[in-house]
Amino acid sequence: MTELRTLKVALLGCGNVGAQVARILLDDADMLASRAGARLELVGIAVRNLDAPREVELPRGLFTTDAETLIKDADLVIELMGGIEPARTLILTAMRNGACVVTGNKALVAKDGPTLHEEADKAGVQLSYEAAVAGAIPILRPIRDSLSGDRITRVLGIVNGTTNFILDQMDSTGAQFADALAQAQRLGYAEADPTADVEGYDAASKAAILASLSFHTRFSLDDVYCEGISSVTAADIAAAKDAGFVIKLLAIAEKLTAAGTETGTETGANGDTGVSVRVHPTLLPREHPLAAVRGAFNAVFIEAENAGELMFYGQGAGGKPTASAVMGDLISAARSIVLGGPGRAETTTGQVSALPITAAVTSYYIGLDVADQPGVLAKIARLFADHGVSIEIMRQTIHRDADSNVESAELRIVTHRASEAALAATVEAVKGLDVINSVTSVLRVEGV
């Protein structure tokens, strides 16, 4: 039997994910060698603090604080430190030195993907980051490889487990946002500073990556419109539930195409064409496949011209699940070295532009607190029609204030698909009506 060659693997970071990757590299060396066609030798692990406790017992001699020296002779570099610097410089240097790089760093890929890809192309090495989107779920490779002979028209993703957990708690227990967040923090689903998750920034990075691969164009974080879940109230959730919807934080990338020119979902507002990439709380019908994604799980729902609808579901975070995605990339990169050539790279031939949020076309849910007077419904319906926004569902519930005995009505409206601009103008005009006490919520709706 011919002796397998050995490839040197440098690991940058030994936290939640890095420790599990190191464990697999050491414990499953024979299995990995048979899959990669080369032995994968872990030559070192760069960390900040040599004395920090580790989740996995690992040989002390592997650890170093000198990442620059560690990557010098590596064939494969796994970056699991997170953050922009020094991760960015280390990845660029490693690729210039001829190493293939695997990373889980969504923030870096979303911010500076084009530079990283350019360097990988120039150096003829593989750069892969399956772990950066939806943890264990194989989603980037299916989009890049399996669907490369199809046209993706829309991607809807639950790509942040923290926010899905919070919204699911609010939905199932009626809790307010702050209480559901505190519960998520107690259970370790949310960090002490939850901003990146609850304000949608983490999901926005993933949306940029999903859009780039799905539409063969490099989108960055700046192209993504982002709204988080911190202003979603228990009342919003209850009203949505009552109307047969669930609220999810969705990362959405969809192609808006001038009617008749090419297959896409539909024409954007004002005839705009391009890709709308956005993250925002979204109402989904409770029978939509994504509505069944509970707790901290992730899922990505894809619509493609020939494949139709596809859904990918699984654990979106956690040391072991994320390490599984890292190992898949590592084996693929190792095989590309063994077989020669850079392996399968992503294509950027799409040349579609990112559209502003005003070009997005979607349905809306609008909650209104209105005076209980005759003619109110007709007045509101006329105003919507005047702004070109047609109403699909309008429901009224009457409330009587026990103290004042004054009756008011709560009106819940779901519109047909309309542009953001038309909806914003409609809401402004509704606020000016004398019969309106307040606009209680405006939320986007998908899947109707």
Among 47, 152, 181, 423, indicate the residue that binds ligand NAP (CB under 6 A).
47
**Contact between 71 and ligand NAP (CB under 6 A)?**
no
**Residues within window 366-395 making contact with ligand NAP, judged by CB under 6 A:** none
User: Is the separation of the CB atoms in 328 and 19 below 8 Å?
Assistant: no
- What does the buried/exposed string (b/e) look like for 194-230 if buried means 16 or more CB atoms within 10 Å of the residue's CB? bebbbbbbbbbbbbbbbbbbbbbbbbbbebbbbbbbb
Span near ligand NAP by CB under 6 A; candidates 47-55, 244-252, 350-358, 400-408: 47-55
Q: Distance between CA atoms of 267 and 107, rounded to whole angstroms? A: 31
Nearer to ligand NAP, 13 or 328 (CB): 13
**How many whole angstroms separate alpha carbon 444 and alpha carbon 364?**
4
Which residues from 171-210 bind ligand NAP, rule CB under 6 A?
none
Minimum CB separation of residue 43 from ligand NAP in Å reads 16
Residues 6+ apart with CB under 8 A from 319: 16, 17, 19, 20, 55
Catalytic-labelled residue, pool 206, 241, 248, 255:
206
Q: Which residues pair with 400 in a beta bridge?
A: 407
Residue written as token pair 């669907």: 147
Among residues 247, 242, 243, which one has the least CA distance to residue 228? 247
Cis link prior to 86 (omega < 30° from 0)? yes
The pattern of x and - marking residues 17 through 36 that bind ligand NAP according to CB under 6 A reads: xx------------------
For residue 111, the minimal CB distance to ligand NAP (Å) is 12
Q: Are 129 and 109 in contact (CB under 8 A)?
A: yes
Residue number with CB closer to ligand NAP (18 or 44): 18
Which member of 95, 120, 131, 237 binds ligand NAP (CB under 6 A)?
Answer: 131
End-to-end CA separation in angstroms for the chain:
59
220 is a site residue for ligand NAP (CB under 6 A): no
By CB under 6 A, residue 221 contacts ligand NAP? no
CA torsion angle for 131, 88, 333, 28 (degrees, to 10)? -60
- Residue 140 found at the interface with ligand NAP (CB under 6 A): no
Complex with ligand NAP: residue 197 or 254, whichever CB lies closer: 197
In the bound state with ligand NAP, the residue whose beta carbon lies nearer, of 130 and 171, is 130
Other CB atoms within 10 Å distance of the CB of residue 288: 18
Q: Return the closest-CA partner of residue 367 out of 386, 395, 388.
A: 395
Cβ-closest residue to ligand NAP? 15
Nearer to ligand NAP, 89 or 172 (CB): 89
Write phi, then psi, for 71 (nearest 5 degrees): -80, -10
Looking only at residues 74 through 93 of this chain, which bind ligand NAP when binding is defined by CB under 6 A?
80-82, 86
What type of residue sits at position 364?
Y
> If you write DSSP's letter for every residue of 290-325 in order, what string do you get?
GGG--TTEEEEEEEETTTEEEEEEEE--SHHHHHHH
Query: In the bound complex, what is the minimum distance in angstroms from residue 132's beta carbon to ligand NAP?
Result: 6
Compute the distance between CA of residue 255 and CA of residue 253 in angstroms, rounded to an integer. 7
Q: Where are the alpha helices (DSSP H) in 28-136?
A: 29-36, 67-71, 87-96, 106-123
Cβ distance to ligand NAP smaller for residue 267 or 315: 315
* Selected binder of ligand NAP within 16, 176, 183, 230 (CB under 6 A): 16
- Nearest distance, CB of residue 278 and ligand NAP, angstroms: 21
Interface of this chain with ligand NAP, residues 310 to 339, rule: CB under 6 A: 317-318, 322
Q: Is residue 100 within 8 Å of residue 180, measured between CB atoms?
A: no
**CB of 134 or CB of 370, closer to ligand NAP:** 134
Q: Is 159 in the site for ligand NAP (CB under 6 A)?
A: no
State in angstroms the smallest separation of the CB of 197 from ligand NAP.
11
Nearer of residues 204 and 239 to ligand NAP, judged by Cβ: 204
206 is catalytic: yes
Q: Smallest distance from the beta carbon of 178 to ligand NAP, in angstroms? A: 24
Residue nearer to ligand NAP on the CB measure, 236 or 329: 329
Q: Quick check: 161 and 296 in contact, CB under 8 A?
A: yes
Q: Residues 50-69: x/- map of binding to ligand NAP (CB under 6 A)?
A: --x--------------x--
Residues 88-117 that bind ligand NAP (CB under 6 A): 104-106
By CB under 6 A, tell whether 14 contacts ligand NAP: yes
Q: Decide: 443 and 231 in contact? Cβ < 8 Å.
A: no
Query: How near is the Cβ of 323 to ligand NAP at its closest, in Å?
Result: 9
Report the distance separating Cα 294 and Cα 320, nearest Å.
Answer: 20
Q: List residues binding ligand NAP (CB under 6 A).
A: 13-18, 46-49, 52, 67, 80-82, 86, 104-106, 131-132, 135, 317-318, 322
Catalytic residues: 206
